[in-house]
Amino acid sequence: MMPVIRLQHAVFDPVAECAKLELGDAGAVASFTGLVRGEGGLVALELEHYPAMTEEALKRIAADAAGRWALAGLTIVHRVGRMAPGERIVFVGAASRHRGDAINAMHFVIDWLKTDAPFWKREEFADGHSAWVEAREGDAVQREKWSDRTKKGCRGAAPLSGK
Amino acid sequence: MAIDLLYFAWIREAIGCDGETVDPPDNVTTAAELIDWLSARGDGYADAFADKGRIRVAIDQEFAGLEKPLAGAREVALFPPVTGG
């Protein structure tokens, strides 16, 4: 399984990304799409990153997910640059034979993406001021909860029925 | 030895450039010592690094702790906690 990882300015189509994941040897596809929240008079979000490092960081997260769960496919698309409220920022999609692996891998990747990839968001508001988004402590907590689960434990449970 | 520094987000803005090449003295051996040495260079640097608890580091494109030895590093990036996703 070769993860698909893309960094891009352009918008992406989550439906098309999911359809590609269905083409593999999958019985389940789980996906997450992150959007720009337009709260507090936000007019734009600027996403900065560390180009020489970002793709490698995403590859590492993807490889970690692939080592923990049996995946038929994994796609990470992260946009950079300027975005308007309501626009899509990030897509994570995972495909597997049974749903648990896809759902867990998707959840793991989005949690780790928040804490382990070099992106920074700056918000611009209608009154002209702008501010860098502060990291949330909850993000680190979300990430850590995956450390408690052994690699085998996540896929060890027998399915109760079907997928 | 010369090190390429990269600055991101508000650290970049406070310092006023996105990177530079520096040649710190031999007694600068860790990322934390590098930050202290940079802080003495002027207001922008002092502002950027006023709270070391808010600084994160990558050494040769690997996330690292502030106490990690630079040990011949070629590229050191200094930035706030990441906020992607």
Domain ranges within chain B, ordered by starting residue: 3-79
Q: Kindly report which listed range (A87-91, A146-150, B36-40) carries the lowest average pLDDT score.
A: A146-150
Under the phi-then-psi rule, with left for phi > 0, alpha for psi from -120 to 50, and beta for the rest, what region is A142? alpha
CA distance, residue A54 to nearest chain B CA (Å): 9
pLDDT at A154 over 70: no
What's chain A's average pLDDT? Answer: 91
Query: How do strand B62-64 and strand A73-79 relate by DSSP bridges?
Result: unpaired
Mean pLDDT, residues A101-105: 98
CATH number of A4-149: 3.90.1170.40
pLDDT band per the 50, 70, 90 thresholds, residue A137: confident
Nearest to A133, CA basis, from A63, A97, A83, A59: A83
Structure tokens given for A56: 């490698």
pLDDT, one tens digit per residue, over A61-101 is: 999 999 999 999 999 999 999 999 999 999 999 999 999 99
Nearest to A87, CA basis, from A159, A14, A163: A14
User: Cβ distance A118 to A57 under 8 Å?
Assistant: yes
Q: pLDDT at position B26, please? A: 94
pLDDT, one tens digit per residue, over B17-36 is: 999 999 999 999 999 999 99
pLDDT at A162 over 60: no
Does A120 contact B9 at a Cβ distance shorter than 8 Å? yes
Q: pLDDT at position A158, please? A: 45
Structure tokens given for B69: 């030895």
Q: pLDDT at position A156, please? A: 43
pLDDT band per the 50, 70, 90 thresholds, residue A163: very low
pLDDT at B72 over 50: yes
What's chain B's average pLDDT? Answer: 96
Q: pLDDT at position A149, please? A: 64
Q: Output the CA torsion sign for B50, B56, B60, B61.
A: negative
Nearest to A130, CA basis, from A45, A63, A53: A45
Domain boundaries, chain A: 4-149
By C-alpha distance, the chain B residue nearest A137 is B81
Under the phi-then-psi rule, with left for phi > 0, alpha for psi from -120 to 50, and beta for the rest, what region is A115? alpha
Nearest to B32, CA basis, from B66, B80, B79: B66
pLDDT at B16 over 50: yes
Q: For chains A and B, count residue pairs whose Cβ atoms are closer than 8 Å.
A: 66
CA distance, residue B62 to nearest chain A CA (Å): 8
Residues linked to residue A94 through DSSP beta bridges, in sequence order: A30, A74
Q: Kindly report which listed range (A1-10, A52-61, A139-148) carries the lowest average pLDDT score.
A: A139-148
User: Cβ distance B22 to B3 under 8 Å?
Assistant: yes
Task: For residues A8 and A17, give the distance between their C-alpha atoms in angstroms, rounded to a whole number.
Answer: 14
DSSP structure class, residue A151: T
Interface mutation vs chain B, best among A48, A108, A111, most B CBs within 10 Å: A48
The set of residues, in sequence order, having a beta carbon less than 8 Å from that of A23 and lying 6+ positions away, is A73
pLDDT band per the 50, 70, 90 thresholds, residue A155: very low
Superfamily of structural domain B3-79 = Beta-grasp domain (3.10.20.30)
Does A50 contact B84 at a Cβ distance shorter than 8 Å? no
